[in-house]
Amino acid sequence: MIATIMRLSRYFLPVSKDVPADAAIVSHQLMLRTGMVRQNGAGIYTWLPLGFKVLQKIEQIVREEMDRAGAIELLMPTIQQAELWEESGRYDDYGKEMLRITDRHDREMLFGPTNEELITDVFRAYVKSYKALPLNLYHTQWKFRDEIRPRFGVMRGREFLMKDAYSFDLTEEAARASYNRMFCAYLNAFDRMGLKAVPMQADTGPIGGDLSHEFIVLADTGESAVFCDRDLLDMGAPGLDLDFEADLTGEVEKRTSLYAATEEMHDEAAFAAVPSDRQVSARGIEVGHIFFFGTKYSKPMNAMVQTADGTNVPVQMGSYGIGVSRLVGGIIEACHDENGIVWPKAVSPFDVGLISMRPKDEAVSTAADDAYAALTHAGLDVLYDETDERPGSKFNRMDLIGLPWQIVIGPRGVEAGQVELKHRKSGEKFDVTLEDAIAKVKAD
Amino acid sequence: MIATIMRLSRYFLPVSKDVPADAAIVSHQLMLRTGMVRQNGAGIYTWLPLGFKVLQKIEQIVREEMDRAGAIELLMPTIQQAELWEESGRYDDYGKEMLRITDRHDREMLFGPTNEELITDVFRAYVKSYKALPLNLYHTQWKFRDEIRPRFGVMRGREFLMKDAYSFDLTEEAARASYNRMFCAYLNAFDRMGLKAVPMQADTGPIGGDLSHEFIVLADTGESAVFCDRDLLDMGAPGLDLDFEADLTGEVEKRTSLYAATEEMHDEAAFAAVPSDRQVSARGIEVGHIFFFGTKYSKPMNAMVQTADGTNVPVQMGSYGIGVSRLVGGIIEACHDENGIVWPKAVSPFDVGLISMRPKDEAVSTAADDAYAALTHAGLDVLYDETDERPGSKFNRMDLIGLPWQIVIGPRGVEAGQVELKHRKSGEKFDVTLEDAIAKVKAD
C-alpha cells in the first residue's frame, strides 16, 4: 500500500461547525460536520475522503469474513434487464421503490435494488449438477431504492452500498447449513467492527421465504424498538477460528433459543417468560438481514440441478445482506459522545491523529515531522495536523473526527523529550516518549 | 487478507470450450471461454470470480499510482441530478449516449457517463481559497454510456468501470504541472500492469479543452490505427521513485517531443519527418485519456477561488480517465497466444496454478496438498486443480486461463521428489524440487 496523503493542509477534509438543520439524527449531523459525505440529491451522497476510508474498511472486513466462510466474490452490474424480474414475478410487485429505466432502444431496465433474479440467472447458466454445490456467491455493489422520503443521511439513502450473498444447495438441510455459516460469519464481521449485533427473528418482506434473521445494533437513536434476552448481549461472537466446515447448528441455536425480536415480530407473552432481570427493551438499527427462501426464485426461473440419482430439482437458495454504507451511520450512532465520533479501531479512517501545536516553532515542527515519520514507519496510518490554526480548534476538530488516539507535539513536551498521548474514548492523557506512545497505540 | 477459495472443485470457474459466435475479438472470446464475465444485457456484464480478481488488481494498481502522485480518493454516486448538467450546458449536448432517468417524483436524473459537473459542484461547495490548491480528487466508479451498438465485450460496454481524477489549480501553469503529474503516473500505472502504453496527441471530444493525450497500448487487434516514433516504445516509464513534487516538464517533453498520434490527429508530413527506421505504424487500444480544459466547467458553474491578492478567479481544471474494466480486455488483446491468455504477473488472477495429475493416487494427492500448503505459506495465491478430470483437459484449461506459472504434481515426480514447473509465456518446463519451484516463482 502506498501511504495516502495525510498532511491535513494537503488533505481534503471540509470540517464544518454548523449543524445542518435537515439532519435529524446524530450520525447524519456528524457525517456532515466531519466532511465525510456531501449530499448530491435526495438520498444520494458523495463519499468524501474521510467517509470513503471508513466505507472501504467496512467493505474489507465484510469481504474477509465472507471469504473465511467459503463464499466466493464476483460483481454483478447495477443495471438489470426487466425480463428477469418478470420471470420471478417481482417486476410488478416491487412498486415505485424500483428505479425503472428505459434505454435508447426503448428496452425496459432497472437499477438493481437487490439481486436474487440476476444471481439465479448466472447460476442456471452454468451449474447443472449437485456436484458443484454448496455454492455461495456474493458481491458488494451499489443499489438503488427510490424511497419516497429518503432521510437520516446514509441510513436511509436511495443509492446505497450493500454486500449481498446468495447460497445454492441441493437440499433444504444443506441450505440451512449455508444459512448457519452466514449467521456466524455475520456475527464475526460485526464483532470485528466493534459492534454488538444481536440476531433477531424477522419478517421476510419482499424477499420472501420462511426463515429470516435481522442483525440489530442497539443504539438509543435506533429506528425501531427491539426486545431481547440480556444473555444475548453478553455472548461473544463465534470467533475467527470457527471451523466453517463443521456443523454450526449449536452456534446458531444457542442464540436463536434466546428471546430476541423486533417490534413487528414481538411476542409479549414469550418476552414475559424471560426472567425479568434479563429483559432488555431497547432501540436498534438493522445492519444485516439473512433469508432462507428455498425455491422461491429457482422454481419460476427454472434453476435446476441434477441429483446423484439423475433427477432434476430446483436449487435451494438463501440470500444474505449487509448494509455497508448504512453501517457507517450505524457505527456512529453506536459510537459517539458529546465531542464527536469515537471510532472503533478497526473502522477508524486513521489509526492516530498527530497534532503539531506550533508549526511555526522550528523545534516543535521538526519533532512533529519526526513523529509523523516514526508513526508511519511503525505501520500506522496517521492524520497529521500541521495547519497553522489555534490549538483549541485543532483539538476540537481531532475530537470531532474521533480517531482512537491522538498525539500532541508541543514546546514543553519537546523540551522534556515527551509527547502527549490522548485516548479519545476515555479522554485519558499520558505524557510519554514517542516510542512508548507508538507501543501503546500498536498494542491497542 | 484471508485466502480466497482456490480449490478448483470448490471455486466458480465456468470454463467453456465453445467460442461464442457474437464475440468478434479475441479478448471477448477468451473472457467468455475462461468464465471471466457473463453478459446480462447489451454491453452489461457480471464479472465472475476470475474476471473480478483481475478487475480488482487493476483498480488497486491505479489507486496506488494515483495516491503516489498526490491525488486523494473519494467516491461519487452513479446517479446524478440533471440540474448540474444544465449548468455546464452539457445536458443537451450529450445526446442519446446519456442514460436519462426519471424518479418517482418526476425529477430528471442520469446515470453518470463522466463526472466533471459533479466534482466541480463538490469543489465549489468547500474550496474558496487558493491555499487549498493544488487539489486532485479521484474515484473509481461504474459509469454508463448508452452506446448505440455495444460490442467487443468489456472493451466497449455500456456499464463500465472508470477511474477518473480531477485537478484544481489557481493558474494555468500550475494546472499544467498537475497534468504532468497525471501523465507520469499513468505511464507508471500501465507499466506496472505489464503494458507499454504510448501517450499520443488526442482530440478532446465532448470533455473539451485544448490539451489532451490518449494512452495507447499497441495490439494487432486494436480498434484504431496509430503512428509513432519507435523511440517512444523503447523508453521506460518514469519509475516509481519519481519525485512528484519536482518539475516533471522534462519527463513529459521527452515523450511529447517525439511523434505519436492516433488516426484522427495523424499528420502525414510530420510523420514523414521521423527517420524511416523509427516510423511505427500499428494498431492500438485506448486505455487512458487525460485533458486540460482550464475554466470550461468552473466558469459556467461558478467555481471560484480567491487569490493571494483577494480577487476571485475561476479554478483551472483537468480530468484524467483510465478505463479499468476496458483494461481487462486490453491486456488480453496485448497478452495472449494460441492457447489462451498469458497474464502479466501483476494483474494475473492467481500467481500460480497447481495441478494434481492423479487426485485418486494417494501419494500424488498428498504431495499436491502439501505443495498447495507450501505455496500458500510462501505468500503465493494458488489456483489448485484437484479435480478428477483427464490430465490433458486440465493442462489445456490451465493454459487457457494463463497464470504465469504452473506446477504439476504427477506420480513420477513424486517418486523423484520433484515437481514440474512450467512458465506459461515461454512454455519452458523445469523438473525441480518444490522449494526451487517456489523460489523461481517468487523471484519472477
Over residues B18-36, the pLDDT tens digits come to: 777 888 899 999 999 999 9
pLDDT at B205 over 90: no
pLDDT at A316 over 90: yes
| Grid cell 491497542 in the structure block, residue | A444
Over residues A44-86, the pLDDT tens digits come to: 999 999 999 999 999 999 999 999 999 999 999 999 999 999 9
Label residue A202 by pLDDT band (50, 70, 90): confident
Helix (H, G, I), strand (E, B) or coil at B276: helix
Both B303 and B380 in one domain: the answer is no
A144–B45 C-beta distance less than 8 A: no
Nearest residue of A to residue B39, measured between CA atoms = A122
Is the Cβ of A162 closer than 8 Å to some Cβ of chain B? no
Both A360 and A223 in one domain: the answer is no
CB A382 within 8 A of CB A395: no
Domain boundary among A318, A339, A360: A339
Report if residue B2 sits inside a domain: no
CA torsion angle A133 A136 A137 A138 (round to 10):
180
Both A254 and A113 in one domain: the answer is yes
User: pLDDT exceeding 70 applies to what percent of chain A?
Assistant: 98
Nearest residue of B to residue A148, measured between CA atoms = B104
Q: Is B55 exposed, middle or buried (0-12, 13-18, 19+ CB in 10 A)?
A: buried
Both A31 and A142 in one domain: the answer is yes
Both B214 and B261 in one domain: the answer is yes
Nearest residue of B to residue A101, measured between CA atoms = B101
| Grid cell 466508479 in the structure block, residue | B141
User: pLDDT exceeding 70 applies to what percent of chain B?
Assistant: 98
Report if residue A145 sits inside a domain: yes
Cis peptide before A134 (omega within 30 of 0): yes
Whether the complex's predicted ipTM is more than 0.90 is answered with yes
Domain boundary among A291, A307, A339: A339
pLDDT at B5 over 60: no
pLDDT at A42 over 50: yes
Residues from chain B that touch A144, judged by Cβ atoms under 8 A, are 79
B35–A79 C-beta distance less than 8 A: no
Distance of CA B373 to the CA centre of its chain: 31
Tell me which residue of B349, B328, B400 sits closest to B155, measured CA to CA. Answer: B328
Both A331 and A371 in one domain: the answer is no
Residues from chain A that touch B122, judged by Cβ atoms under 8 A, are 38, 46, 48
Looking at chain B from residue 181 to 240, which residues have their Cβ under 8 Å from any Cβ of chain A?
Answer: none
Q: Are strands B279-294 and B211-218 parallel, antiparallel or unpaired?
A: antiparallel
φ, ψ for residue A361, nearest 5 deg: -85, 120
Nearest Cβ partner of A103 from B3, B76, B146? B146
Domain boundary among A312, A339, A366: A339
Cα–Cα distance for residue pair A291/A243, rounded to 1 Å:
22
Retrieve residue B340's grid coordinates.
489462451
pLDDT at A4 over 70: no
Report if residue B183 sits inside a domain: yes
Over residues A352-380, the pLDDT tens digits come to: 999 999 999 999 999 999 999 999 999 99
Is the Cβ of B103 closer than 8 Å to some Cβ of chain A? yes
Cα–Cα distance for residue pair A41/A157, rounded to 1 Å:
10
CB A413 within 8 A of CB A399: no
Q: Are strands B352-356 and B382-385 parallel, antiparallel or unpaired?
A: parallel
The chain-wide mean pLDDT, for chain B, equals: 95
Both A66 and A165 in one domain: the answer is yes
Label residue A394 by pLDDT band (50, 70, 90): very high
pLDDT at A24 over 90: no
Is the Cβ of A326 closer than 8 Å to some Cβ of chain B? no
Both B178 and B278 in one domain: the answer is yes
Over residues A344-357, the pLDDT tens digits come to: 999 999 999 999 99
Identify the CATH number of the domain in which residue B354 sits. 3.40.50.800
CB A337 within 8 A of CB A349: no
Both A277 and A415 in one domain: the answer is no
Report if residue B4 sits inside a domain: no
Both B397 and B319 in one domain: the answer is no
Report if residue A255 sits inside a domain: yes
Both B117 and B262 in one domain: the answer is yes
The chain-wide mean pLDDT, for chain A, equals: 95
Over residues B34-44, the pLDDT tens digits come to: 999 999 999 99
Residues from chain B that touch A44, judged by Cβ atoms under 8 A, are 77, 79, 81
Is the Cβ of A21 closer than 8 Å to some Cβ of chain B? no
Both B251 and B314 in one domain: the answer is yes
Looking at chain A from residue 122 to 141, which residues have their Cβ under 8 Å from any Cβ of chain B?
Answer: 122, 125-127, 132, 135, 137
Is the Cβ of A269 closer than 8 Å to some Cβ of chain B? no
Identify the CATH number of the domain in which residue B254 sits. 3.30.930.10
Q: Which domain holds residue B289?
A: 10-341
A67–B5 C-beta distance less than 8 A: yes
Consecutive H or E run containing A67: helix A49-68
What is the pLDDT averaged over residues A141-167?
96
pLDDT at A205 over 50: yes
A46–B74 C-beta distance less than 8 A: yes
Q: Chain A to chain B, count of Cβ pairs less than 8 Å apart?
A: 165
Indicate the range of A185-194, A402-411, B213-222, B297-306 predicted with least confidence. Answer: B213-222
Cα–Cα distance for residue pair A101/A371, rounded to 1 Å:
53
What is the pLDDT averaged over residues B151-157?
92
Cα–Cα distance for residue pair A322/A186, rounded to 1 Å:
8
Query: What is the structure's pLDDT at A223?
Result: 84
Number of domains chain A is built from: 2
Over residues B176-191, the pLDDT tens digits come to: 999 999 999 999 999 9
pLDDT at B166 over 50: yes
